[in-house]
A = this chain, B = another copy of it.
């Protein structure tokens, strides 16, 4: 058995998320179908760095899988890239030690969230950015963003119903970039891990602050309350992209 790590991108529009499930097309299922095809019909299990929800996209999701023979990595990449459906791309493949695990070894994840703020709404962005046609004071968002940096209990920014007990996470980067034409905002969050729907609740809260319905300095109090109701609404999934997953250096160097 040879362990392969792959970086994949997908357009989440027509997927019921990453993870295999009884009903609905998923990214994992399509990858496993393709891998079984190139493995003479024998099943191969794919492990992702984490789930993404229905409608959520990926620029740099990472997976690993075990394949019975060693194949040249570029041949493996090309086979996977061309044989998966058009809404999945396989951009890189490498052979990693058997100890590498796409989920357990994650050190950092980066997410992007796109918000379309132009009027009228561009029909080309409807699946690729959330739409926010209301007034926004971007300076208020810029003021609030640094309060998210560092290590905090993010219970207030976690959808209820999850099974994870420890809700302490560290955010290293929390930024907002305005597109040159002013039509779109991109939020960039990099951290050691994110809770269920955390990015979407962070963005929903920041937009509420920008819209003047929450004070710009309210993030510390929201964090302190450890209550989902203290934060803003959950932004729509179509704006969210899993942009990059980083692993411990020794693993990446293999």
Q: Size range of the interface on A?
A: 10 to 19
Contact of A126 among B11, B81, B126 (CB under 8 A): B11
Which chain B residues lie closer than 8 Å to A88 at the CB level? 123
Tell me whether A128 is interfacial, beta carbon within 8 Å. Answer: yes
Contact mask for chain A residues 121-148; partner B; CB cutoff 8 A; 1 contact, 0 none: 1111010100000000000000000000
In the assembled complex, how far is the CB of residue A81 from the closest CB belonging to chain B, in whole angstroms? 5
Tell me whether A57 is interfacial, beta carbon within 8 Å. Answer: yes
Tell me whether A10 is interfacial, beta carbon within 8 Å. Answer: yes
Tell me whether A91 is interfacial, beta carbon within 8 Å. Answer: yes
Q: How far is B128's CA from A249's CA once the two chains are assembled, in angstroms?
A: 37
Tell whether, in the assembled complex, residue A57 and residue B87 are in contact, meaning their CB atoms are under 8 Å apart.
Answer: no
Which chain B residues lie closer than 8 Å to A11 at the CB level? 123-124, 126
Tell whether, in the assembled complex, residue A89 and residue B120 are in contact, meaning their CB atoms are under 8 Å apart.
Answer: yes
Q: How far is B13's CA from A126's CA once the two chains are assembled, in angstroms?
A: 12
Closest to A86 in B: B126
Tell me whether A31 is interfacial, beta carbon within 8 Å. Answer: no
Chain A stretch 53-98: residues in CB contact (< 8 A) with chain B: 57, 77, 81, 86-91
Tell whether, in the assembled complex, residue A122 and residue B86 are in contact, meaning their CB atoms are under 8 Å apart.
Answer: no
Contact of A123 among B77, B89, B121 (CB under 8 A): B89
Which of A88, A89, A121, A122 has the largest count of B CB atoms less than 10 A from its CB?
A89
Which of A120, A122, A128 has the largest count of B CB atoms less than 10 A from its CB?
A120
Tell me whether A158 is interfacial, beta carbon within 8 Å. Answer: no
Nearest 3 pairs of A and B residues by beta carbon: A11-B123, A89-B120, A87-B123
Contacts A11-B123, A81-B120, A89-B122 aside, 11 further interface pairs with beta carbons under 8 A come to A11-B126, A57-B124, A86-B121, A86-B123, A86-B126, A87-B123, A89-B121, A89-B123, A90-B120, A91-B120, A124-B128
List 18 A-B pairs, Cβ < 8 Å: A9-B123, A9-B124, A10-B123, A11-B123, A57-B124, A77-B120, A81-B120, A81-B121, A86-B121, A86-B123, A87-B123, A87-B126, A88-B123, A89-B121, A89-B122, A89-B123, A90-B120, A91-B120
